[in-house]
Structure 1
Amino acid sequence: MELQSRTAVLTVRLNKPDLAALDALAEKHGVSRADLARAVLLRSVDVFQAEPRETEAILSLTQQVHGLGSRLINHQIQNRTVAARAIAERKTMGHLS
């Protein structure tokens, strides 16, 4: 996607507590007030473009969840295999009596 220069200006009025909250959040994430406000606005209208750091975090979390799911499925398969063997052994023992 081609980056376009930002030439349009949007002026927004906030009350002091809202501005303080915006500034605190911007400081927490290490971005400027304008960058934070832009990101929030663009995300709210589905024009979100993930930053590389966010993309990496999303990919890492997705891989972790996939790994957990795979291990859970393998564990369930093992449990069912053990249960099926136990049932088969009980049936075999029942026929031998």
Structure 2
Amino acid sequence: MHLPPELSLESFAPHAGTAFRLRAPGAPVALELVKAVALGHGRVGARTPFSLQFLGPEGHRMEQGTRTLEHPAMGPLDIFLVPLGPLQGRMRYEAIFS
């Protein structure tokens, strides 16, 4: 699994608006990171919980599950994505980190 424990909201926030490449059967699919936000406060000494929201092509819908996303600056990451439904002609996905 590709998810270093030191990843945090601060790791992803600078990459909002950029594409993460989803390894998919056939051809890779681009998912744009559109939102990276804190979800309250974590335990003392633990990372702050956060969520990431991605937009992808509406014609490529996925069930929830762990997917490998690749980013030029962050490398490959295994992230559990949950579909939230369509938004403005694109499909929206969310990942929660606690």
Q: What TM-score does the superposition give when structure 2 sets the normalisation length?
A: 0.19
Higher relative contact order (CA 8 A, sep 6+): 2
Q: By percentage of residues, which structure has more strand? A: 2
Q: By percentage of residues, which structure has more helix? A: 1
Q: What TM-score does the superposition give when structure 1 sets the normalisation length?
A: 0.20
